[in-house]
Amino acid sequence: MKRVMGSALQRPLSFAEEEEQFRNSDAELLAEADTATQFRKLRVTSPRASPRLTSTATGKYTTSASKPNANKTSSDVAKCPFSGASRHDKDTAKSSRCPFARLHVVGNTHQVSDASENLLKFIGGKARLNRSISRFYAYAFANPHLVRFFRDTSDPHALRLATWIAEKMGDKNLPWTRERRSRDLTPVVVAGGRRIVVRDRSSAHVAAWHSPKREPHKVGQHFKLDDCRLWLRLNFLAAREEGLFQHKNFKDWYTRFLGHFVRVYERTAPQFVKEAVRWSEDKKRVARYHEAVAKGLPEAPGDGVIGVSLGRALQQIPKAEWAANSDWPYEQ
């Protein structure tokens, strides 16, 4: 009885403790503790060779530089198939070939490469990413399920995510690091009248878990599988509509990139990335989604992910994509 009472009366974590606990849970978050330093340390300097990942007995991945392949597949070197979108797309497609970049991860931590930097430049840099991410957040804010995570939709969410991605791809101006250093550190009010300073990714997500818009019984809960799947669907939809997925090499790198990072929030989520991509490319499913949102629903009946258990979710994707059967996104 004494043991039960002691557990029930245990002091709740402060936001600082919760942030530290979350940050210590994953190598990626620890690596971002000093982004500028990590950016220099983790840079891959070979412009021609991207590292190959090999699995170790512990399940971690190590890399070895792969030699340039003279017999690259057509998807690696073919001209970019941009046909719509921006003037930048058309001009770039006419004048150059699509750069190829492998997802580069060592010790479970993403590393910048010259290849990903070239890919960033090719698609139009931070500005192009910001257009895509701004479109994504417009969709997220319109979704009655996802919008609950946002205490204030007027905050520069799109800019922060776009600059983070740009920096991870290799933007030498370190836009995310600079934005963090100039960020307003005035504490914001979350559920229960508590206050938190949003200074980085860890604190931003703690604030989202404690958003005052969430249902009382869900305040403090971390992102679940269904949250991640819906987030991925809309993110890929925005990228496709912005024209970014017309570039096959960017699509390959970006989906692997988000597949690697979404595991920070939900370990089972990466195996559902490809399904989210397929959803974003299916015009009928997307149309049904928009119709549902217009009616105040978070997703289309019969094609949803909210409340779907892991077991049921696995039945919605090919067995070849199950984590138990695949090393994606690290198998390159």
Task: Name the phi and psi angles at 109, rounded to 5.
Answer: -120, 130
Structural domain spans, the chain:
10-325
Tens of each residue's pLDDT in the chain, 332 residues: 444 444 445 566 676 666 666 666 655 655 565 544 444 444 444 433 333 333 333 333 333 333 333 333 333 333 343 334 444 444 444 445 779 999 999 888 999 999 999 999 999 999 999 999 999 999 999 999 999 999 999 999 999 999 999 999 999 999 999 999 989 899 999 999 999 999 888 889 999 999 999 999 999 999 999 999 999 999 999 999 999 999 999 999 999 999 999 999 999 999 999 999 999 999 999 999 999 999 999 999 999 999 999 999 999 999 999 999 999 999 98
Token pair belonging to 250? 């960017």
pTM of the full structure:
0.78
